[in-house]
Amino acid sequence: MIYLSRRSLSSLLRSGFNLRGDLAAAAVSCSSLFSDADGGIKKLHSRAGNAVLWRNSQLCSSQGSFFGRGGQVSGSVFRCFCSGSDTSPPSLDRKFLAQLWVADKKKLKAMEKRYKKASKHRNYTENDGFDVHFETVEPTVEQPPVSQSMSGLLKPKTSDEAKIATLLARSNLLVTRDIEWANLVLGFEQENRYIVVDVCYPEAPVGSIREQSNLLARQLLRTRRPFVASITDALGNELFRVRRPFWWLTSSIYAEIDGEEIGVVHRRWHLWRRIYDLYLGNNQFAVVENPGFWNWTFTVKDADGEVLAQIDRDWRGFGFEIFTDAGQYVIRFGKADAAAKTGPATLVEELEVKRPLTLSERAVVLTLAISLDNDYFSRHGGWGIPFMAVGE
């Protein structure tokens, strides 16, 4: 018993004979061929379960006929399938089937190459009676919605603030530094990279930070090296930059939007305390006074000592802290307007602050977090010696 695929049987019938359209349609719809042991009636079952019947004696006889839907086709057209006399059972030549199989494979490969170059949208291609559906879906990257309403003090007052609102109109930001494998294994200082995530939407980052600095300066100057870091949104659009020049005793870092300075953070020298002054333009709006040692909470306060924001350096585990610089910082900007909280933000506890910071002031606080990471928490890698910490 011989089984033919729908495509093979269709190619056989169309290439060898000039059949009537209704007979070819019947042959194409067939999926398997069945024969009884007595050579009586054979049935070709279609996809829908319909059957076409004929007698063996008529299939290979010169006078036989095939009864289709409303017409006859001479049985002599089936002679090439017969071996021997006209009354012998029908059979197919092995060489012919092999050639047909090879031709079919080549055709399928050609189709695959053509479909790989198809459009990125939906395309429907009709081939040999089959409808082939191809669809290419590309992952879409979207900026997560803000978790605080841009009203009141958070309402953008300038075009610069409107540009950074999608990143900073949030109550809590989680800034995580990537692991630098070359620094970990070889002591080779790499450019710092950070991922910024909104705690209310942890499934996708809201931005990223990437350092740009000189290769030799990184190896020789280490934490005192000058660099520029770009802060971008989730789509890769640059929102603003931070610029940190070379320093010897105390560091300074500047926040710039489109090349224009909007704020600066100056570090004050102290033997053990960590003190920073935050400026918006020429006006100081906050100060950070950390007692030092193992205290990893940096509270941003105004001139009256009232809390405006807070930066916490999280403990990530013994392995991370001992062998890497992959720190994690939580920036809490506090409540802006309890009634203006949207989505998952309503479930997150916020820091109690005297007043919400403006968008420009928040950009300076984010700049402070980058300075803290480079001043106090970038100590591994050594001078080409793995796992050696370098102090000031």
The token duo for 93 is 């030549």
Q: What is the pLDDT of residue 116?
A: 65
CA distances in angstroms from 289 to 161, 295, 354, 391, listed in the order given: 27, 11, 18, 21
Bin 29: left if φ > 0, else alpha if -120 < ψ < 50, else beta: alpha
Which residues of the chain fall short of a pLDDT of 50?
1-6, 8-9, 12-86, 89-90, 119-138, 382-392
Q: What is the pLDDT of residue 29?
A: 42
Q: What is the pLDDT of residue 98?
A: 73
Q: What is the pLDDT of residues 262-279, one digit of tens each?
A: 999 999 999 999 999 999
Q: Please state the domain extents for the chain.
A: 156-377
Return phi, psi of residue 209, to 5°: -130, 130
Q: What is the pLDDT of residue 315?
A: 83
Q: What is the pLDDT of residue 312?
A: 95
Kindly state the greatest CA–CA separation across the chain: 113
Place of tokens 């279609």: 46
- CATH 2.40.160.200 holds for 156-377: yes
